[in-house]
Chains A and B, each alone.
Chain A
Amino acid sequence: MDTLIKATQNVKILKESDIIPLFDVLKANVIRSHMEMTVIFLKATVADSHQINVIEKLEEQIAHFFVSEVRNTDMLFKLEGSLRWGILLPQNGEEEGKAFLNRIFQLVKNENFPTKIDSAFTLQGIIVEIKNDQVMFEDLIDKQFEVLSQLSEPWEIEIVTSYKAQPIKRVKVSILEENAIFREVLELTVQKMIVDHFQLETKVFSDGYEFLQSDWYLSGHTHIVIMNDILPRKNGLNVLHTLRQMANQKKFIIYMMTNRKSQSDMIYAYESGVDEYLIKPFDLNLFQAQLKRTFARL
């Protein structure tokens, strides 16, 4: 236990009002950088209810213990009501929250405190993973009151999943391929994919010029472009270059298809911003798997 290095001096206990702006900033990042965050709520119960008068002292001691256990990127804050705290774990999910609570609980059960705590107590916890940027901090507070009041057993952990649902995101998929039959097969393959939280809009083009003449690629949506390297009028490299020169070029994820198998061309295309290469003929299952990975990263 002592082998863990802790940087306790950096962690302060924040007030509820202090945490709200931080929470809002992190929440916006949840969507932008695809990193969930988790809030843990803790309630301590003192076994011996006679010692009510020393509760303030105890509260300080327990808080001090928590401070020594959290990482310095985590934020500990005091909630209204006695012996209640919250911990915000940025860039962490439910699993990390669970592991953290289990560790704390284990320490308390074994009375293995790094600092001195006067009285024995039990803990209860709630883990809330947040992947949705619509949630308000007040909602969380209300939720934890409601859930904590329902908990009866000591050492109980409740996982709240109601904020885990991601908002549906619109993603555009463009397919640029000369062969009409294969073009439709690709379109169908993409359309058939069920990807949680994403709404796919597909459109097919038979050459580069047709694609670049449409205003379809100008919107701000994340846009997956699947194109052949050789295309009539404006070939694949030309389209690639045009897209990568755009101000918001990061929204494009570009798949290049080839049947030329020329290594130097592929290297160049990767260097100029192709994300994935598909060598024809390729397996549609593999293609779907690659697409799924792409969506997972979105």
Chain B
Amino acid sequence: MIILDYLMWFFGGLIIIYMLLVIVTYGLMFFFALLKLRKEYRLDQTEMDETYIDAFYSKPVSVIIPAYNEEVGIVDSIHSLLSLHYPEFEIIMVNDGSTDRTQEIVIEQFQMKKIEKVIKMEIPASPIIQIYQSQIHPNCFLVEKENGGKADALNVGINVAKYPYFCSVDGDSILESTSLLRLMKPIALSDGEVIAAGGNVQIANGMNMQLGSILETNVSKNYLVTMQIIEYFRSFLIGRITLSKFNLVLIISGAFSVFSKKWVVEAGGYTKSMIGEDMELVVKLHRYIRKKKEKKRIEFVENPVCWTEAPETMAVLRRQRRRWHQGLLESLWNHKTMTLNPRYGGIGLLSFPYFWLVEGLGPIIELGGYIYIVCAFFLGDIYYEIAILLLLTFVLYGVVFSMMAVLFEAWSKNKTFKVADLIRMMLLSFTEIFWYRPITLIWRCEGLLNFLVRRREWGKMDRKGISSKEQESI
């Protein structure tokens, strides 16, 4: 009994200390993010848009869309790219051996014709079967290749790309018309000091869209999706902005980010065998920057938005989270020598420990906390207080941060948000710690297990398509 007693005290204390540490870290990050957002609140963004729409001031970009069985969303996605306010860009859709009608649909919709093109293989990748070019939009290409995974498809895209920067966009994502321009802004304004930038990915389910244009911003009625929206807001406010400020970014979303082609090629491109190929590339770039001893940055930019489809069912969400977590741990493990290594500066001393402890191993400790609370109730009085204390830290961590994230998102987007949505999301934030949080924790722990046993699984998502269906007559 005494041993149990000590154990309970020990774990209780450990978890509480951990939670308090996390809360303080998050609180600080939140604070920095708010300072930045507040400063630029109501700044006229169109001023920059107007300046850099002129080809003379901006750098051309190759937009690469790796697509595997994306027949539902791909046409809208390409339409949204074709309507981008950007002076010079090309669209390269890489069909990674889709087994559905992805390729036929794109060929038909954009009148693609076969072309001959000599491709310089700068990054080793699977062979190209055929390249097509649109008869309507000369800057729109389709590359057909054998299935080789997302990283391989992206590498092929980079080889085909002719411009010095490339932007990776998921096949089911929709960009706002100014997104690319705004994402390229730090690159254009830093004379190449910024070598990669990631945009703000948001959830599109429930939005009213057509042919890649947003007609109305709605929040999905699906609770699972709404919960994910809150989660995205939070991760955007906590983490992304602050990490970017101090050049500590390890994750920029593969769904929407630009890279300097030269640097990516030199760093060896995307790694084929990794699950989280986007994170892996960023870590590789950081490593390469330090190796070359250059002063380069990787940034997160908050105003260019990319809308993407989120899972609507538990099963798909579970698969996604499991994969994400496994990918995160694989990348961290792969570059474990960077951890606490002063040679890598802030990345080694701050980012890596943060990602290991908070993002990587956090789920175990947090899940431990949940189990602890349950145990405490069975074990009786003496642990009640610790359990309550723990519960309160969860409330602070889960409920309060979520609510604040929702509030600040609504504040910064006060043109588009709806009062009803705000209230609904605030109420939903209260419930997070009771269902969504523990479930996702379990899934992430599963990812951790998968990482330990090195299980591979491919994330498949049941695509619904985010665009309002309207019959295409032309």
Chain A residues close to B by CB (< 8 Å)? 207, 209, 212-213, 230-235, 237-238, 241-242, 259-265, 268
Given contacts A209-B210, A237-B137, A260-B54, contact A242 B474 (CB under 8 A): yes
Q: Is the CB of A232 within 8 A of B177?
A: yes
Is B213 an interface residue when CB atoms closer than 8 A count as contact? yes
Q: Is the CB of A212 within 8 A of B138?
A: no
- B-chain residues with CB within 8 Å of residue A209 when the two chains form the complex: 210-211
Given contacts A207-B213, A212-B474, A234-B79, contact A262 B138 (CB under 8 A): no
Given contacts A212-B474, A213-B473, contact A259 B210 (CB under 8 A): no
Bound-complex Cα distance A177 to B285 (A): 42
> Per DSSP, are chain B's interface residues mostly helix, strand or loop, or mixed?
loop
Other A-B contacts than A232-B83, A232-B212, A261-B55, 10 sampled, CB-CB below 8 A, are A209-B211, A230-B85, A233-B212, A233-B213, A234-B211, A235-B137, A241-B111, A242-B474, A260-B88, A262-B55
Q: Is the CB of A230 within 8 A of B177?
A: yes
Is B34 an interface residue when CB atoms closer than 8 A count as contact? no
Q: Is the CB of B212 within 8 A of A261?
A: no
Instruction: Report the minimal beta-carbon distance from B315 to chain A, rounded to whole angstroms.
Output: 34
Specify which of B56, B79, B83 is in contact with A230 (CB 8 Å cutoff).
B83
Query: How many B residues touch the partner, as a band?
Result: 20 to 34
Q: Is the CB of A241 within 8 A of B136?
A: yes
Bound-complex Cα distance A112 to B177 (A): 77
Instruction: Report the minimal beta-carbon distance from B107 to chain A, rounded to whole angstroms.
Output: 15
Q: Is the CB of A260 within 8 A of B83?
A: no
Bound-complex Cα distance A14 to B237 (A): 91
Bound-complex Cα distance A167 to B41 (A): 59
Is B87 an interface residue when CB atoms closer than 8 A count as contact? yes
Is B82 an interface residue when CB atoms closer than 8 A count as contact? yes
Is B84 an interface residue when CB atoms closer than 8 A count as contact? yes
- A-chain residues with CB within 8 Å of residue B212 when the two chains form the complex: 232-233
B138: nearest chain-A partner, CB-CB: A268
Is B386 an interface residue when CB atoms closer than 8 A count as contact? no
A240: nearest chain-B partner, CB-CB: B136
Bound-complex Cα distance A213 to B210 (A): 13
Given contacts A232-B83, A233-B210, A268-B138, contact A260 B53 (CB under 8 A): yes
Bound-complex Cα distance A16 to B210 (A): 65
Q: Is the CB of A261 within 8 A of B54?
A: yes
Q: Is the CB of A238 within 8 A of B54?
A: no
13 residue pairs bridging A and B, Cβ less than 8 Å apart: A207-B213, A233-B210, A233-B211, A234-B79, A235-B82, A237-B82, A238-B136, A238-B137, A259-B53, A260-B54, A260-B86, A261-B56, A265-B139
